[in-house]
């Protein structure tokens, strides 16, 4: 990978890791579903007029918008609003890798490699250790919501595999646009019009900054860079960088929010990240004279 692209990859995962701390800041003054709706509104509405229509069938845009934008982020924001710390959320959410592999086996009929199955088992052991950690401050119900959010992310990954968008940024902008109205409706039903109106009236600079970061940095910049890298390099080259997201998230939560990591959670973190590594890191293919279709190293 070129030095510039390496820096871009590190910038994207750093933004995504810090994103969890920013969510906590935003939730201090805005209800979770309203915060998620505002995030996608400002990420999508200004951009759709500049980028034009998506270049994939609308059913894929709607499917990912509901699975990723509404279900995954809605549940994540609710879970964090109910006590799941930022660093822990950034780690547990990566169970999406497990669900993505499982859905690929069931839906896409992909044959798992033995190392992928081993990785799933290792990561599951790590998740179980987190759930059974008696010193954990997060409520069990809220923690389970993060796991369900990871499953929803796995669903959206599977739909995206079918869609194969050529322009990831354009695709994510329209996915964000799809999520706005359902999130607003759910917010009005569950959080109430008065709570939403009071939050909008009382929003301060930290709330505005949190929404701006979520919309422009985490959504447009992060996914735009990720899509660019996936167009330039093989997925096996880009995907391992996602392992740094929980590392950055937990580090940022420790530095900025004082979130401590106990011994059992530390061991669980190593197991989860190690399990994820087993599922996405592939052995490089050996290029032979007869295999002219294999992409040369960059």
Q: What is the pLDDT of residues 1-38, one digit of tens each?
A: 788 888 998 999 899 999 999 999 999 999 999 999 99
- Give the percent of the chain with pLDDT over 90: 39
In a domain, 33, yes or no: yes
Burial 4-32 (b: 16+ CB within 10 A, else e): ebeebbeebbbbbbbbbbbbbbbbebbbb
**Within a domain: residue 119?**
yes
Least Cα distance to 85 among 138, 158, 35 occurs for 138
Report if residue 289 sits inside a domain.
no
pLDDT tens track for 38-72: 999 999 887 777 777 888 899 999 999 999 999 99
% of the chain at pLDDT higher than 70 = 91
Residue 136: half-sphere exposure toward Cβ, Cα within 13 Å: 25
Residue 81 placed within a domain: yes
- C-alpha 163, offset from chain centre: 18
Q: Which residue has the tokens 């709706």?
A: 37
**Count: domains in the chain:** 1
Burial class, 102, CB count within 10 angstroms (exposed 0-12 / middle 13-18 / buried 19+) = middle
Angle separating helix axes 222-232 and 3-27, nearest 10 degrees: 150
59 inside domain:
yes
Token pair belonging to 3: 């030095």
Residue 146, in any domain of the structure: yes
- Whether 295 is in a domain gets the answer no
The whole domain housing 233 covers: 3-280
pLDDT score of 37: 95
Query: What is the distance between the terminal CA atoms of the chain, rounded to a whole angstrom?
Result: 6
Cα separation of 213 and 259, whole Å?
Answer: 21
237-276 pLDDT, tens digit per residue, is 777 788 788 888 888 888 888 887 778 778 888 888 888 7
Instruction: Give the model's confidence band at 296: pLDDT under 50 very low, under 70 low, under 90 confident, else very high.
Output: very low
């Amino acid at each position: 990978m070129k030095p510039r692209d390496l820096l871009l990859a590190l910038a994207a995962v750093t933004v995504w890791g810090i994103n969890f701390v920013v969510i906590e800041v935003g939730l201090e003054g805005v209800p979770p579903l309203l915060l998620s709706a505002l995030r996608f509104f400002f990420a999508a509405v200004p951009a759709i007029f500049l980028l034009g229509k998506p270049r994939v069938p609308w059913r894929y845009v709607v499917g990912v918008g509901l699975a990723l934008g509404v279900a995954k982020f809605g549940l994540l924001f609710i879970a964090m609003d109910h006590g799941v710390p930022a660093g822990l959320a950034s780690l547990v959410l990566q169970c999406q890798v497990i669900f993505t592999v499982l859905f690929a086996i069931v839906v896409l009929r992909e044959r798992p490699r033995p190392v992928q199955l081993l990785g799933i088992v290792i990561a599951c052991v790590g998740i179980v250790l987190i759930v059974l950690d008696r010193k954990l401050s997060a409520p069990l119900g809220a923690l389970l919501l993060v796991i369900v959010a990871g499953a929803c992310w796995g669903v959206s990954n599977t739909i995206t595999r079918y869609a194969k968008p050529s322009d990831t940024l354009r695709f994510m902008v329209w996915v964000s646009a799809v999520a706005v109205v359902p999130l607003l409706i759910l917010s009005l039903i569950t959080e109430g019009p008065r709570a939403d109106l009071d939050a909008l009236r009382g929003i301060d600079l930290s709330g505005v900054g949190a929404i701006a970061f979520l919309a422009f940095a985490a959504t447009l910049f992060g996914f735009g860079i990720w899509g660019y890298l996936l167009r330039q390099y093989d997925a096996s080259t880009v995907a391992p960088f996602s392992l740094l997201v929980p590392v950055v998230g937990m580090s940022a939560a420790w530095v900025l929010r004082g979130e401590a990591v106990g011994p059992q959670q530390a061991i669980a973190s190593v197991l989860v990240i190690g399990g994820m590594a087993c599922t996405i890191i592939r052995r490089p293919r050996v290029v032979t004279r007869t295999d002219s279709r294999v992409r040369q190293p960059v």
